[in-house]
Amino acid sequence: MLRTSPRAWELPGGSVEPGELPAQAVVREVEEETGLEVRVSRLLGWYRRTGFRPHRSPVFVCQHVAGVARPNWESIRVSWFRLDQLPAGLFPWYRPIIADAASGRSYPDEQRQHLGLAAVWAAAKIHLRQVVRSTR
């Protein structure tokens, strides 16, 4: 989905509500952000990001069950992409996660991604390009 802020393509996600399991949260967040009903297929793994936008979160592989893709207040566009045609405006740290999911991998150990200055710079350029495109 193309987020409103920062203006970039990202995977749906969000916070776990009190009393909610992470797998339930991903189903709810995907529906809220995209209009799509999904079923969790498997846990890809837990990912810990350090540096820029630090956090730890589970990443799930899901299957589309029902619904039509639609934007909401958090997203400008919701689209499907072939693996070999991911958008240039996708934050780069999602590419290895998508490749892992597509390969069928699952990680029993926590995966780490350090997002240093290069990641911040790449994210800023993506955001600015998307903002400039939207004003044309």
How many structural domains is the chain composed of?
1
Structure confidence at residue 29 (pLDDT): 96
What confidence tier does 109 reach under pLDDT thresholds 50, 70, 90?
A: very high
Contacting residues for 16 by C-beta, under 8 A, at least 6 apart: 22, 25
Q: What's the CA gap between 47 and 128, in Å, rounded?
A: 27
pTM (predicted TM-score): 0.87
**Does 120 score more than 90 pLDDT?**
no
Can you name the residues that pair with 3 across neighbouring β-strands?
75
62: CATH: 3.90.79.10
Tell whether the model's pLDDT for residue 136 goes beyond 80.
no
CA distance 133 to 87: 14
Q: Is the pLDDT of residue 135 over 80?
A: no
Q: Which of 13-17, 34-38, 39-43, 120-124 has the lowest mean pLDDT?
A: 120-124
pLDDT band, very low/low/confident/very high, at 134 (cuts 50, 70, 90): confident
Strands 37-51 and 111-115: parallel
Domain range enclosing 55: 2-135
pLDDT value of position 130: 87
C-beta separation of 13 from 58 below 8 A:
no
Mean pLDDT of the chain: 92
Residues 76-82, mean pLDDT to the nearest whole number: 93
CA-CA-CA-CA torsion sign (121, 111, 59, 14): negative
Query: By percentage, how much of the chain surpasses pLDDT 70?
Result: 99
91: buried, middle or exposed (CB in 10 Å: 19+, 13-18, 0-12)?
A: buried
